[in-house]
Amino acid sequence: MNSSEFRRRGKEMVDYVANYMEGIESRQVYPDVEPGYLRPLIPATAPQEPDTFEDIINDIEKIIMPGVTHWHSPYFFAYFPTASSYPAMLADMLCGAIGCIGFSWAASPACTELETVMMDWLGKMLQLPEAFLAGNQGKGGGVIQGSASEATLVALLAARTKVTRRLQAASPELTPAAIMEKLVAYASDQVVATLGTTSCCSFDNLLEVGPLCNKEDMWLHIDAAYAGSAFICPEFRPLLHGVEFADSFNFNPHKWLLVNFDCSAMWVKNRTDLTGAFKMDPVYLKHSHQDSGKLLPSPSGLHWQLPLGRRFRSLKMWFVFRMYGVKGLQAYIRKHVQLSHEFESLVSQDPRFEICAQVVLGLVCFRLKGSNKLNEALLQRINSAKKIHLVPCHLRDKFVLRFAICSRTVESSHVQLAWEHIRELAAAVLSAERE
């Protein structure tokens, strides 16, 4: 495909994407297919000669779409949101074209430098303590990771390296293996200190945990994968109180801040803790500025993460932050929180139901008063009807339904319709139980 065909096909794809987004509400949110549906629909081997673009675009509706769970449908209330916005998609197009791999400053200076500044922008939006910002002279700073799991693993490895060095300095006779045996990682039942758990969006008390960790010289990593985006609103910022005790902090703008996957934001107070754990310097990655004694704008991916390669992911943040503005992003978060409270209020007015956890942000945990079996039956009816999509969780042995505000385009009307639908199915389940 040459560039003039790309101009044509690219514009067709832009229209396809816009059509998909405009019409997503009319698609069934959860697909009808059975496992193994796709293999019989396509050839067993790649074609020897090229297929046409028309063949492929036709196959999208025939083969792919029937098997898609539509995460951006306003009737999708499952898991947690995954971010999607037009500005992020535009940035991703540019990111694909530049196609640089940012494993060092020299590999594309703009990639390294924009990321540092965007992480400062975002850190300031969250009112993170100054110690987490890179600025011109700071020791801290932020880096984009692929996922919260990756960020947690990076924090663990950095913590391990740091304590190993400290112990070795104090007792040179200790071998790394002997030290390793003595290391302990404390975790809650959701791993590491968590703000906004997946099950029910509960919050650990950092003001209790934090000072203890600092006193015992323990690395404190805080994961706020979902909830973190809300901290750009002053009214939710108190949930982050105590972050000043942490060594590292992470949340996922790719969940709730309109920056398409992947974009997991991680900050550390001391970036040498990370570079110490990951440093590698093959000669083919050396460049003329690294020994200049200047503090290189972090992060070079090389010393901050597991994979050597990384895309120009900060472009997405730049486009989204600029095209929404902080106020636009705050309004977006507030709208979601308001919709979850609207749903909470509907549930509370129906005496057959109970709310199972405090509604803080965009998640409502609820259930029919009664047995787990009853609630499992309700969820099964909901997900079989496929008008809306929900997933469950367990809270203290109780089977609970999670209603998460997810889609960028969800409105009060969708929440109302979803609730009416749940009520109807609940009535059917309850009447089936009485028979």
The residue type found at 335 is K
CB atoms within 10 A of CB 392: 20
Q: Distance between the two ends of the chain, CA-based, in angstroms?
A: 64
Site string for a second copy, 167-206 (x = CB under 8 A): ----------x---x----------------xx-------
Residues from 225 through 264 that contact a second copy (CB under 8 A):
254, 260-262
Q: Does the footprint of a second copy cover residue 212 (CB under 8 A)?
A: no
Site for a second copy, residues 334 to 393, rule: CB under 8 A: 380, 383, 391-393
Separation CA 134–CA 57 (nearest Å): 45
> Can the peptide bond before residue 176 be classed as cis, meaning omega within 30 degrees of 0?
no
Residues near 232 by Cβ (< 8 Å), separated by ≥ 6? Answer: 125, 126, 257, 326, 329, 330, 333
* Identity of the residue, 402 or 414, whose beta carbon is nearer to a second copy in the bound complex: 402
In angstroms, rounded to a whole number, what is the distance separating the alpha carbons of residues 418 and 427?
A: 14
Q: Which residue, 211 or 309, is less far from a second copy as judged by CB?
A: 309
Among 28, 89, 275, 334, binds a second copy (CB under 8 A): 89
Region from 168-176, 204-212, 265-273, 287-295 binding a second copy, contact rule CB under 8 A: 287-295
Nearest distance from residue 415's CB to a second copy, in Å?
20
Residue 124 or 421 with smaller CB distance to a second copy = 124
List, in sequence order, every beta strand (DSSP E) within 192-339: 193-194, 221-223, 248-251, 264-268
> Quick one: 93 or 185, whose CB is closer to a second copy?
93
The Cα 21–Cα 86 span in angstroms is 10
Per CB under 8 A, contacts with a second copy among 297-336 are 297, 306-309, 311, 315, 318-319, 321-328
| Residue 131 binding a second copy, by CB under 8 A | no
The distance of closest approach from Cβ of residue 188 to a second copy in the complex, given in angstroms and rounded to an integer, is 15
Q: Are 105 and 112 in contact (CB under 8 A)?
A: yes
DSSP calls for 14-79? HHHHHHHHHHGGGS-SS--PPTT-SGGGS-SS--SSPPPHHHHHHHIIIIIGGG---TTSTTB-SS
CB of 252 to a second copy, least distance (A): 8
> With CB under 8 A, what is the number of residues at the site for a second copy?
136
Contact between 36 and a second copy per CB under 8 A: yes
Does 223 contact a second copy by CB under 8 A? no
